[in-house]
Structure 1
């Protein structure tokens, strides 16, 4: 699941402080493309190889924005629809958005979230609250997946701690991400799961091995 690059979900909390300020232009449409050696999603490598992603974003000086993001990696594709509102008050930036994640080859995984981000100076907080249902029809289940982040950025460096909280299954875990932006387009992220329930990492293979693995992601992105 995903924002705007293949590494977007791990980097999103650190970016809230920057994105929460309304655009100065009356309205703007922008696009982006990114290539990554993996799809790093909330501390886990969920792809079988490299991922290519891209998006289109509309933003207005009022703070409203909307867009679409898509990714194609090994065995499946994804497209996400999102809309939100961002503003700044008293040195605090706030970003509230709705995300609809869609997987054409596996519609049983389709899911929705409400995302709230708060940024103060170089610090950021993020809450990704599951809403609606996972999947569609008779097989759908209540979406009780929540994810929370705390981030700090300094110059080209960033650190994010993320916690996955599933209120139904014992699939909770916490990960630590360290990032370095070599340029505006070239980013490195090292990610490590630091605590997890026994069943938490089943999607990433053997939970013990996954918890021991240090993930290294490299992404190159550019604006269209």
Structure 2
């Protein structure tokens, strides 16, 4: 499944994705990520800077999400692409991140301001992790919060259970929905 921020975007269907990344010793990095998605494709372009000072880690990135032939379209026939600036901080197993909507949803005359933000806090110890994520969307009554519990059996094989624990009245998520169980296997070349 395409598991993203507590959601199954492919409605239980299989999905394949991959990335091509470059990282420099200074902490600068860039890449492209692509996936097969229900009804089309997605590709994301990103660049950022990451580093650490002892147990303290930091990362700032810009991500441009693109949906060339799938999903919700504007009146001009273009998908509502979006951009985010992501700030992540970590210390001794604890983490916090903010995903700040910038630019517009979509392109051209039918675009609208992206004022949606998403936040996470988490803790990881050895092979175990917990993350709480919540949306702060511009549209009223559309936010939700989810909790993810994860376990990494190996460096390649991991498991996650995710559950929406709170949702606003107009959110596409409901806190009584079933939990999601996600199995991931990563291949490195």
User: TM-score, normalization: structure 1?
Assistant: 0.78
Answer 1 or 2: higher relative contact order, Cα 8 Å, separation at least 6.
Answer: 1
1:44 and 2:44 equivalent?
A: no
- Counterpart of 2:50 in structure 1 is 86
Q: 1:163 aligns with which of 134, 158, 177?
A: 134
Distance 2:176 2:136 in 1: 16
Task: Check conservation: 1:180, 1:189, Cα contact below 8 A.
Answer: yes
- Counterpart of 1:74 in structure 2 is 38
Distance 2:54 2:127 in 1: 25
3-state SS in 2 of match to 1:138? helix
Task: Check conservation: 1:179, 1:188, Cα contact below 8 A.
Answer: yes
Q: Which segment drifts farther, 103-112 or 63-72?
A: 103-112
1:102 and 2:73 equivalent?
A: no
Q: 2:17 aligns with which of 46, 53, 75?
A: 53
Two-structure CA RMSD over aligned residues (Å): 1.3
Distance 2:89 2:2 in 1: 25
**Alignment of structure 1 residues 92-171 onto 2, 5 Å:** 92-106=56-70, 107-171=78-142
Distance 2:61 2:32 in 1: 13
Distance 2:9 2:180 in 1: 11
Q: CA deviation at 1:90?
A: 4.8
What are the Cα deviations for residues 38-84 of structure 1, in whole angstroms up to 9, with x where unaligned? Answer: 11110011113011000011001111000000110321211000000
Distance 2:140 2:23 in 1: 38
Task: Check conservation: 1:98, 1:112, Cα contact below 8 A.
Answer: yes
Q: CA deviation at 1:108?
A: 2.4
Q: Which segment drifts farther, 106-115 or 189-198?
A: 106-115
Distance 1:78 1:157 in 2: 30
Q: Which segment drifts farther, 212-221 or 101-110?
A: 101-110
Distance 2:178 2:155 in 1: 28
Aligned residues: 181
Task: Check conservation: 1:108, 1:140, Cα contact below 8 A.
Answer: no
User: TM-score, normalization: structure 2?
Assistant: 0.91
